[in-house]
A and B are shown apart, each in its own frame.
Chain A
Amino acid sequence: MPTPPDIEAVAEAVFTALADPSRRGILAALAAGGPATATDLATRLPITRQGIAKHLALLADAGLVAPEAGAGRRVHYRLQSAPMHVAQQFLAALARDWDRQFDALQTHLDAAPVDQPARRNDGTSES
């Protein structure tokens, strides 16, 4: 199956954003507290409001947050789960540990008694 380029770009945008402490803080705040305005975030994070606005614009361009009109014309930013799921797919592939699983299978087969009568009859040389 060929890997479409856009899924790569989406995952890369997520990991690039997460590598920056300020953007990681903004994403964490939106995940923990739900949609928020730039002003809300500036009061909760050690980042200037100008800095928050710059990072939110970058995150919105990358599709990681979406601006939406809130009450009183204030723009609220909402975390977008779809790109996070793509990043999760990537992490799931890295985290899938078939080596460890196969070790467990080997251990299980070595330890489990051979309880088939036919095999016992065949395996006369086995002690």
Chain B
Amino acid sequence: MGFPDRIERTVEIGHPPARVWAALTTAEGLGTWFGHAATIDLRPGGAASMTWTSGDKASMRIERVEEPTVFGFTWGIYGLPDDDPRRTYVEFTLEPTDTGTRLTVVESGFAQLPEDGFRKAFDGNTEGWASELGELVEYLDANAA
């Protein structure tokens, strides 16, 4: 099936790295092209958030701030509960070019394993007794008829 762990895209932008950096790392920028509103505490360990008029919200934790070349953060995986420990890491890399900026984004961690607590939920389900209980319920239901 092929579970993608990592997504990568590169785009050429006709604007200098300083402007792209501002769009990526300021509340004004993020709240315009990405979310509908944003907050950001731009330092490693700082918090950032984006909200959408749909009611969706993304909470990020800033990991790397190396102006104006590397900006990285982690955020939750869309669709998982807010308290789920699984998060993906998003890293933007900016390279100056003759015409502007080469911007690369790498998002990784989609295929990460569940935490130990979640793994127990899988491992605890031994096929043998699950199958036998299925047969038991079939037997009981048949006799109850």
Contacts and interface: CB of A to CB of B under 8 A. Distances in A.
A3 B5 CA distance: 7
B25 to A, nearest CB: 12
Contacts of B5: 1, 3, 93
B95 interface: no
Residue from B15, B32, B111 with most neighbouring chain A CB atoms (10 Å): B111
Interface of B is mostly: mixed
B138 A57 contact: yes
Interface in A68-98: 73-75, 80, 82-83, 85-86, 88-96, 98
Interface residues of A, number: 56
Contacts of A93: 3-5, 7, 110-111
Interface string A105-123: 1111110101010000000
Given A58-B134, A90-B3, 6 more contacts: A49-B142, A57-B135, A82-B118, A92-B110, A96-B7, A106-B13
Given A67-B137, A88-B80, A109-B20, A104 B86 contact: no
Contacts of B13: 105-106, 109
B23 interface: yes
Interface of A: 1, 3-4, 6-8, 10-12, 37-39, 42, 49-50, 53-54, 56-58, 60-61, 63, 66-67, 73-75, 80, 82-83, 85-86, 88-96, 98-99, 101-102, 104-110, 112, 114, 116
29 contacts: A1-B112, A4-B111, A8-B2, A8-B3, A38-B141, A39-B141, A50-B138, A53-B137, A57-B134, A57-B135, A60-B131, A60-B133, A61-B134, A67-B133, A82-B121, A82-B122, A85-B118, A88-B77, A90-B4, A93-B3, A93-B4, A96-B7, A96-B78, A102-B103, A105-B13, A108-B29, A109-B20, A109-B23, A112-B19
Interface residues of B, number: 56
